[in-house]
Amino acid sequence: MSVYNQVSFYGQGSDMTASRFLKEVSRECREHPDRVAYFTSRGGVSDFLTYGELDRWSDGLAAFLRREAPEGKPVVVYGHKSPLMLVSFFAAVKAGLPYAPIDIAYPADRVADILEQIGRPLVISLSDDPLVADAYLAERVLGKDEVHAACM
C-alpha cells in the first residue's frame, strides 16, 4: 500500500484509511447500486450518479489510469462539481494513484504552478473550457469524451 493510502481521512488517530474508505464505498455500491451517490443542480439542470454507475465507471477509468498515468504522480482532475469528479477520485484511489483536484475557478498561474510542481501529470479535464494552463505542463490531457470512453 502506498504512503498516501495510509493517510487518515478524519484527522489524527482515525483508522479511516483510503483503503478502508474505498472498501466502505464499494460495499455501498454492491448493496445499493440504484441509490443516488451524487446529485447536483445548477442553472435548472440536474445531474446525478448512482452507486452502481460510480463503481462501474470508476473501475473502467481505474484500468485506464493503471495503463496510461505516469507512475507515482497524482492524477490531476480539472473541473467543477460534476459526477465525473467523484468518478475520477475513486478511479485514482482504485488505481493506487494520488488525486489532485483543480477547480476551474483557479487562476491560470495557480494551475500552471500546481502542474509544474507535480511534474507533467496526466490531466483529466472535465471542463467545457480548455485547460487554462499550457498543455506542455501535462504528460497528457484527457477531455470529457475520452474520460467517458475510458469509463465504459
3 belongs to a structural domain: no
49 belongs to a structural domain: yes
State the average pLDDT over residues 21-40: 88
Q: Please write the tens of the pLDDT for every residue from 85-139.
A: 999 999 998 998 888 999 988 888 898 898 889 888 889 998 877 766 666 677 8
Who contacts 138 (Cβ-Cβ below 8 Å, separation ≥6)?
Answer: 76, 115, 120, 121, 122, 123, 131
132 belongs to a structural domain: yes
Q: Please write the tens of the pLDDT for every residue from 74-91.
A: 899 998 888 899 999 999
9 belongs to a structural domain: no
Cell numbers of 14, please? Answer: 482515525
Cα-Cα-Cα-Cα dihedral sign, residues 10, 11, 17, 20: negative
Check residue 130 and give its pLDDT.
72
Q: Are 90 and 22 in contact (CB under 8 A)?
A: yes
103 belongs to a structural domain: yes
Q: Give the CATH number for residue 70.
A: 3.40.50.980
Q: What percent of the chain has pLDDT over 90?
A: 28
Instruction: Work out how many domains the chain is built from and give that number.
Output: 1
Count the helices and strands in the chain (H runs, E runs): 5, 6
Q: Which domain holds residue 56?
A: 31-151
5 belongs to a structural domain: no
Who contacts 74 (Cβ-Cβ below 8 Å, separation ≥6)?
Answer: 92, 97, 98, 99, 100, 118, 121
Q: Above 50 in pLDDT, residue 8? A: no
Q: What is the mean pLDDT of the chain?
A: 82
18 belongs to a structural domain: no
If pLDDT is split at 50, 70 and 90, which confidence band does 65 have? very high
8 belongs to a structural domain: no
